[in-house]
Amino acid sequence: MSIFKNGYYLSGNTANYNLLLVFFCSKLSVMQLDLGLNAPITISELTRRIKDALEGGFADVWVTGEITNLRIPSSGHVYFTLKDKDAQVKAVFFRSGSRFLRFRPEDGLEVIVRGRVSVYEPRGEYQIITEYMEPKGVGALQLAFLQLKDKLGREGLFEPERKRPLPAYPKRVGVVTSPTGAAIRDILKVLFVRAPGVQVLIAPASVQGDSAPSEIASAIYALNAVGGLDVMIVGRGGGSMEDLAAFNTEVVARAIHASNIPVISAVGHEVDFTVADFVADMRAPTPSAAAEMVSRGAAEATGAISSLTGRMAYAMSNTIRHARGRVEAGQRAMVDPRRAVHEQFLRLDDHTARLTLCGRRAVSGMADRARTLGRALMHLSPGRVIEVQAGTLSAHVQRLRQGMGYKMGERRQRLGQAMVRLDAAAPLAPLARGFAFAVRLPGMETITEASQMDVGDMLRLRLSKGELDCRVEAKRT
């Protein structure tokens, strides 16, 4: 501690804690660091409070950066540093999660990481406990989708008030899709059977590739220019995120928004959602379903569906709001048993590294001493003494190895016990016994009762390995 004229500062060991508390005082008043304290505390207590604050405020973060200083010890945990041009942060991916990686991390690889911020108390260092990692670029399309959806949502393109009802008895229907794909065949087949008198005007456009967005938008504008159409179907068959990329573009979304003709978005195979779905007046899970909507032919059914949709949206909004509150309260109260085990993992690796270093230094020192004695004895030729010293050295080395082996065995045993307790307390352990965790799509509401779902609703089941997206065909309460 150093005393100044107008104040003082208290500094911990910066090599271990990277902490510095500065206090400035005046002659009449004292301004203290706001830690809720009235008396000095230990560095350990301060570090623990900082850890609690960081872990509470950064319990779930997404970061992107370049991997450097990658280290994978025998424990299987992945230690690395994430950096960009201005900053860096340490991170660890424990073996329980890193063993499911589909790629091998390496220095120089840019990745996207999800995890939580924690503090390793013995060193006073903060780090990211990694829960998920993917190479940067793999999730770029998904990120672009979310960003565009958020942008257009703020502009009001998704507001229910601007959604137009579909005509009860359309006479002319416009279709924007590939003229050679399965979607147009499905649409024409359904319309031929259910509404043979409807006229169909097709505006061909590529639905995949670099030119697809501009072609789709041009086709929408062209059908509006023709006029006389009652409704328009814009869509294609299902596919991957890359295949559906054209319908997640701003040019297509704004063309749908500017259309004077009610638009049905029919992109994908039921579970696929695009930006076009949110902008359109109506979303159909498949092109065939869009044709069925057009040929429904009952004004009463349209009114009933509109009424039910409003009531369902109101009920879902209230349910989701209350459920979100319960989930957030539960998350704040829940103590993750993995954190204690992760702390032990870090401590075990740290002690193992220290023990190995000490052992190497001890062996190196003994070897140097033996060489010194050997050089001295060469001048005196004390053969017996050399043999005795060699035996002593061998015994020391043997005892050292036995000690190291005992320590390593003890740590491995404690680690195994901790992992058994972790597996027993893991929240997802019941999934391995055949149970499943269900959430509603797209809102990710936890489903605990059949009454929360209606026929046709989408849900996602999380199993022990993988997830399934399902649609409710029937329910029993």
Region 424-449: what's the mean pLDDT? 80
Of 203, 450, 448, 168, the C-alpha closest to 323 is 448
For residue 135, the Cα-to-chain-centroid distance in whole angstroms is: 12
Q: Is the pLDDT at 6 greater than 60, yes or no?
A: no
Of 362, 365, 366, the C-alpha closest to 404 is 362
User: pLDDT tens digit string along 190-247?
Assistant: 998 888 888 999 999 999 988 999 999 999 999 999 989 999 999 998 877 778 889 9
Q: How far apart are CA 432 and CA 285, in angstroms?
A: 32
What DSSP letter does each residue of 280-347 carry, written as one string?
A: SSEE-SSHHHHHHHHT---HHHHHHHHHHHHHHHHHHHHHHHHHHHHHHHHHHH---HHHHHHHHHHH
Q: What is the pLDDT of residue 24?
A: 30
Angle value at C-alpha 150, between 147 and 151, nearest 5 degrees: 85
Q: What is the average pLDDT score of the chain?
A: 80
Cα separation values, 191 from 177, 233, 297, Å: 16, 12, 12
User: pLDDT tens digit string along 44-90?
Assistant: 888 888 888 888 888 889 999 999 999 999 988 999 999 998 899 99
Q: How far apart are CA 312 and CA 332, in angstroms?
A: 30
CB proximity list for 352: less than 8 A, separation 6 or greater: 73, 75, 408, 411
Q: Is the pLDDT at 404 greater than 50, yes or no?
A: yes
155: part of which helix (H) or strand (E)? helix 140-155
For residue 470, which amino acid is it?
C
CB proximity list for 458: less than 8 A, separation 6 or greater: 270, 271, 440, 441, 442, 469, 470, 471, 472
Of 119, 144, 133, the C-alpha closest to 339 is 119
The CATH code belonging to domain 167-297 is: 3.40.50.2300
Region 352-360: what's the mean pLDDT? 83
Sequence spans of domains, the chain: 2-41, 167-297, 337-427, 431-471
185-205 in b/e form (b: 16+ CB < 10 A) is ebbeebbeeebeebebebbeb
Q: What is the pLDDT of residue 378?
A: 64
Strands 445-446, 437-441: pairing kind:
antiparallel
User: pLDDT tens digit string along 88-139?
Assistant: 999 999 998 888 776 678 888 888 899 999 988 888 889 999 998 887 865 5
pLDDT confidence bin for 30, thresholds 50/70/90: very low
